[in-house]
Structure 1
Amino acid sequence: MSLQLVGKHVQMLEQHLGVRLLNRTTRRQHLTEIGAGYYEKVKIILAEVESAEALAAESQAKPSGRLRINAPVSFGIHALMPRLAEYMAVYQEVQVEVSLANRYVDALTAGVDVIFRVGELSDSGVIARRLAPYRLVLCAAPAYLRANPPIHTPMDLAHHECLSFSYTELRTHWTFDGPGGLLTVPVTGRLMIDNGEALLIAARSGMGVLLQPAELVEPEIAAGRLVRVLPKYHPPSRPLHLLYAPDRQMTPKLRSFIEFAVAAFGPSTA
């Protein structure tokens, strides 16, 4: 704009506000006290408008870049990986880095974008999206069941080798929902492992009774290598959440994966 046009705009603004923004002399112009305060406020407003426009533009951008995901091992192998191809086929400019671990991962400091978490949440300061509950199934190998006392109720498990999973309460007690309501029983066994796939091999070898996720054991039950135990008693499902830090910038890649995960593993799939 020319200086004359700028001056005309300022005069119109002063008329609109009913205050003087500039002190004018024949040699120079400078802000009045109210003009200086008004200018500082307007700068903040313009910055916010610019930020809002950038956010709107970003929401239209194509998801791209590296997306870092953490998940428990069994869920990652048997639930996440079979579905991940669908996401990557749609968003071909996203590079996915998956880390699988059964140990606790801090969503605020782990350096990952999203975390799948099985079990009750103890994290504070994170955003959690609830997914479909994680179903568990009790089973054992036919050879083990033939060689050991029958299992008619959960209390009979006290006389059996129970294959324990490290890191969770499943290493010491199992809970069932049966005809008489909820029942928690202590379990013991000589073998404890921090990996569901290793526990599955132990169960198939006839080493004990197994309580693990449905995705892991149902193919083995269908093939006859494992047999479901106590079908009238159902282990309560465990909560499953998708976590991310509240200060994590909601980039197109993060937003796209959250939407995909909720659609793929959300409550509607339960």
Structure 2
Amino acid sequence: MDRIEAMRAFVTVVSEGTFTRAAERLKISPQLVSKYVSQLETHLGVRLLNRTTRRIHLTEAGTHYHQRAQQVLNDIDDMENQLGNLQAEAQGLLRISAPVSFAIRHMAPLLSEFQKKHPAVGIDLQLNDRKVDILEEGFDIALRIGHLKSSSLIAKRLAPVRLVLCASPAYLEQYGTPRRPEDLREHKYLRYSYMNMDPGHSLQKWLQDSSRENTRGMISNNGDVLIEAAIAGTGIALQPTFIAGSAVKEGKLKVILPEHEPEPMALYAVYAHRQLLASKVRSFIDFIDGFFGEPPYWDRFE
């Protein structure tokens, strides 16, 4: 008995409702479909289907087996198709969601080099700092930054994302340089509204206190705005080095309280779990992996 073919015959009978329609779909005879199912039941030692002259019914064992058999067949089909796609040229429109500041500063060279290597792939890049639903909104890949929680999605870690607390030399000269986290209560905090940091971290408490007690600070959903405000001497910002690194390197900003720096987050490429990866998606994931360097080039400012 060919167990895979018998399993496929059984699953097709269940989905089509009759042996005749299953045979038409599989392009084999109804007698062979019936033989496959009978052999499968004999092999398993249980009845999977109750047959009447008009219709079939799944038994309790059949219901359980059908769920697992469908999963196994999906896995086999995915594996075979992926192997075929490895030989196919990457092509089609690749829809990517990416964080605003990261994309503006770092995505253009990446996408330009990717399209030179894969000219048949078009790019639709949508910038948004909110967490998009890649299935509902039709994205192939989403780039996300943070500490990702477990989900039904596959996440490929691409690079560490370091957070630094920084302010302009002029601001620090005027208001003083914080020496301890509790000193932050006396300063103006430029807060990013989507910040995903460990709530138990020592900086988080004092930054939150600073926001509550000092209404002269600023809040924004864009990190570039906050960094420009910090450069202008408006206050202290906690931002990733992919935004702040160049200003630190140029001396426009100074890193403060480095010994209290939060644990790095990470940049991830996220795509749908169990979705068959088209060659355009697989090619992009392979291309972006390692593109930014280790450590990433935006951290080479010290």
The TM-score with structure 2 as length reference comes to 0.66
Deviation at 1:174, TM superposition (A): 8.7
Q: Hey, what does 1:37 align to over in structure 2? A: 34
2:129 is aligned, of 98, 102, 119, to: 102
Which consecutive residues of structure 2, in runs of 5 or more, have no partner in the other structure? Answer: 1-28, 39-72
Residues 174, 37 of structure 1: CA spacing in aligned structure 2 closer, same or farther, 3 A cutoff? closer
Q: What is the Cα-based RMSD across aligned positions, in Å?
A: 3.3
- Secondary structure, counterpart of 1:239 in structure 2: strand
1:135-161 CA-partner distances (Å, limit 9, x unpaired): 112111111111113311122111100
Which consecutive residues of structure 1, in runs of 5 or more, have no partner in the other structure? Answer: 1-30, 42-46, 177-181
Residues 231, 39 of structure 1: CA spacing in aligned structure 2 closer, same or farther, 3 A cutoff? closer
| Percentage of pairs with the same residue | 35
Q: Hey, what does 2:287 align to over in structure 1? A: 260
Deviation at 1:78, TM superposition (A): 2.3
Q: Hey, what does 2:25 align to over in structure 1? A: none
- Secondary structure, counterpart of 2:160 in structure 1: coil
Number of residue pairs the alignment of both structures matches: 230
Deviation at 1:127, TM superposition (A): 1.2
Q: Hey, what does 2:233 align to over in structure 1? A: 206
Q: Hey, what does 2:183 align to over in structure 1? A: 156
Residues 88, 39 of structure 1: CA spacing in aligned structure 2 closer, same or farther, 3 A cutoff? same
Q: Is the 8 A contact 2:166 2:254 kept in 1?
A: yes
The TM-score with structure 1 as length reference comes to 0.73
Q: Is the 8 A contact 1:164 1:191 kept in 2?
A: yes
Residues 139, 174 of structure 1: CA spacing in aligned structure 2 closer, same or farther, 3 A cutoff? farther
Letter in 1 for 2:135: L
- Secondary structure, counterpart of 2:291 in structure 1: helix
Q: Hey, what does 1:116 align to over in structure 2? A: 143
Distance in structure 1 (CA, Å) of the matches to 2:78 and 2:271 = 22
Distance in structure 1 (CA, Å) of the matches to 2:191 and 2:122 = 36
Q: Hey, what does 2:5 align to over in structure 1? A: none
1:51-106 CA-partner distances (Å, limit 9, x unpaired): 87655433211101100111111221223333222212111111111111111212
1:197 equivalent to 2:227? Answer: no
Deviation at 1:166, TM superposition (A): 0.8
Higher RCO (Cα < 8 Å, 6 or more apart): 1
Distance in structure 1 (CA, Å) of the matches to 2:255 and 2:30 = 83
- Secondary structure, counterpart of 1:257 in structure 2: helix
Q: Is the 8 A contact 2:82 2:277 kept in 1?
A: no
2:108 is aligned, of 71, 81, 85, to: 81
Q: Is the 8 A contact 1:69 1:112 kept in 2?
A: yes
Distance in structure 2 (CA, Å) of the matches to 1:228 and 1:173 = 21
Distance in structure 2 (CA, Å) of the matches to 1:173 and 1:227 = 24
Q: Hey, what does 2:263 align to over in structure 1? A: 236
Is the helix fraction higher in 1 or 2?
2
Deviation at 1:168, TM superposition (A): 2.8
Q: Is the 8 A contact 1:117 1:243 kept in 2?
A: yes
Distance in structure 1 (CA, Å) of the matches to 2:138 and 2:250 = 40
Letter in 1 for 2:228: I
2:98 is aligned, of 51, 71, 74, to: 71
Letter in 2 for 1:165: Y
Distance in structure 1 (CA, Å) of the matches to 2:260 and 2:77 = 59
Q: Is the 8 A contact 1:135 1:236 kept in 2?
A: yes
Distance in structure 1 (CA, Å) of the matches to 2:199 and 2:77 = 56
Q: Hey, what does 1:251 align to over in structure 2? A: 278
